[in-house]
Structure 1
Amino acid sequence: MNTLLGALLALISAFGWGTASVLVKIGMRNKSAVTVNIVRLYITALFYACLFLFTGNYAEILSLNWQVLVIAFISGQFGFVIGDYFYFSALRLMGVSRTVPITASYPLWTILWAWLFLGRSINAQITIGAFLIFLAIVIVRKGEIEEHLDTKGFLFALLAPISWSIAITLLDFLSSQVSPLSLAGIRMIFAAFGISAFLPKYSEELREITRREVAILSGAALLGLIIGQYAFVKSVSLVGSQISAPVSAVNPIISSLLAIAVLKEPPNAKIILGLVLAVAGVILITTA
């Protein structure tokens, strides 16, 4: 029963993330990546702060030692401030369907950190999966060159999963110390605190944000950061990342299909091939 529920939650997280990516792209048409992230994180942090009042999770959070809180803070910054800045910047420069095949490489980087710092072994299946992801990135890059897309967008799309992988590596430790709801919430609240450093620079742009943009970004926050993130954290706590990660790996497919259907991003044979290879590589790595 836990396995079925865990897989279902991972699938829910994939749909949440995929849909949120498209909403973010729509919401940032006239706004910078930082402004979009400030709005999104503040909405999410406010939701969790109110939720904790009703659930009593503040008691658990206040009982955590300072080392756990520091690690949660760092994880939140790499996951939702630094990583998402690179991701949103790539979305702006290249679009959803051109970005997600590259950002889908985050499990590869996660395995690399585990091998370097935790002594995890790398077998033939992981090697093949890594090769497929590398091949996907090369093919997608060739497709982007043919379309004369900004090189900076490709660099941002590559830096995003590296940052996310650091956050996920820290999340593995935190999930054994903190309940899923509290963990999901404090990472978002800490991320909101971290991104507040940019308020003075982007205050004018924030004042110009429209109700429509707030509504769109609220939807992105609900689907991606509230439902998607909590579902994934809960899934990992139930069945482990070895099941959750491969199921959630369909997220790039969902994002790309929605981008083509909703945003009218023109399909490209190399981009589609890269997407397929990236997803296949992710599944191989996370099931090894």
Structure 2
Amino acid sequence: MYGGRVAGALTGDWPWTGELFALISAFLGALSALMVRTQSHLLPPAPMNALRCGAAALLYWVLLPFTEPLATLSQVSLREWVLLGGSLGIGMVVGDTLYLTAIREIGVSRALSLACTCPLLTMLFEWVLLGKPASTDLALGCCLVAGGVMLLSSRGAQTEPAEEGKPARPLRLKYGAALALGAAASWGLSMVFLGPAIAHLTTIQANAIRLPLVALLVYFTRVHHRRQDLKQLDRRAGLVVALSGLVGMGLSAFTFLSALRMIGAAKTATLGSTSPVFGVILAVLFLKEEVSVRMLAGIAACMTGTWLVF
């Protein structure tokens, strides 16, 4: 009765709404990465992650009255709470921090392309940990992604465009690629935990619980003892970082999960994995990132490898 009230009010029975939501989610994810990149030289990844989670948490708390009654939380078992905690620790504390660092190291186009291999890694973890049957498409997808990684992480002497008054900083491609793949692996493992963890939770309830917990956990473990990182952050930069969390962890996640409910996992994941295409366009237009044929081939290989498993 309550679960689809928010998305249903927005979508009605319009055709192609699910597909549109999936593409909007992909675009918003790329836009969030662009916003992070513009501020990555001002704030380390840990406080940035805490601020982003805190901002997105506000959105889900606003949406809480439109989902299932809070009394349903009594149905959540101890095992499900433990799995939810493991999911947020692996996916949002570790994975998101690695992703933010990767964006700073190798730019939006490369980091987003590598991190978007997460669906393939989720299926790989399900095969290894849960014994779900593997397919030739999964093996071929892994090979394509491996080739894409090699293309995207080679030529490590490149530099990012210089900012006004600052020298160009070298891009550490292999290091950044490892970070982005680490983020994808963390998110993939987190998704394996998250499935059974939210058996008795709506998406809004799960995120309303997870996001503030992550913000507090990151703050007290990584930020509290380094308050100078926050003191050096001006109001405009803080607003951009918070807005990136609202866009990426809030609106993008909400539209993705709405699409998932309407058109299923396969089509949603396929359309959602177009995010690197939007990322390349935005990075070239606004950040002046250089895009080579080799880089485009790497992005195409990663995207094709991800599509194959659906």
Aligned to 1:202, the other structure's residue is in SS state coil
The answer (yes or no) to whether the contact 1:15–1:254 under 8 Å persists in 2 is yes
**Gap regions ≥5 residues in structure 1:** none
Distance 2:66 2:136 in 1: 48
Task: Pick one of 296, 299, 303 that aligns with 1:275.
Answer: 299
Distance 2:194 2:98 in 1: 20
Task: Give identity over the alignment, percent.
Answer: 24
Distance 2:68 2:195 in 1: 24
1:163-202 equivalent positions in 2, closer than 5 A:
163-196=186-219, 197-202=221-226
Distance 2:20 2:71 in 1: 30
Aligned to 2:200, the other structure's residue is in SS state coil
Report deviation, 1:56: 6.9
Report deviation, 1:136: 0.4
Task: Pick one of 242, 257, 268 that aligns with 2:281.
Answer: 257
**Gap regions ≥5 residues in structure 2:** 1-12, 160-169
The answer (yes or no) to whether the contact 2:119–2:306 under 8 Å persists in 1 is yes
Q: Number of matched residues?
A: 286
1:72-221 equivalent positions in 2, closer than 5 A:
72-144=84-156, 149-150=171-172, 151-196=174-219, 197-221=221-245
The residue type equivalent to 1:32 in the other structure is P
Distance 1:258 1:84 in 2: 21
Alpha-carbon displacement from aligned partner over 1:9-51 (angstroms, at most 9, x marks no partner): 2222111111000001112221111121111112222333344
**Structure number, greater radius of gyration:** 2
The answer (yes or no) to whether the contact 1:142–1:270 under 8 Å persists in 2 is no
Aligned residue number for residue 252 of structure 2 = 228
Aligned to 1:280, the other structure's residue is in SS state helix
Question: When the two structures are superposed, what TM-score results if normalisation uses the length of structure 2?
Answer: 0.84
Structure 2 CA distance for partners of 1:25 and 1:33, relative to 1, 3 Å = same
Report deviation, 1:227: 0.7
Moved more, 269-278 or 70-79: 70-79
Structure 2 CA distance for partners of 1:66 and 1:239, relative to 1, 3 Å = farther
Report deviation, 1:66: 2.7
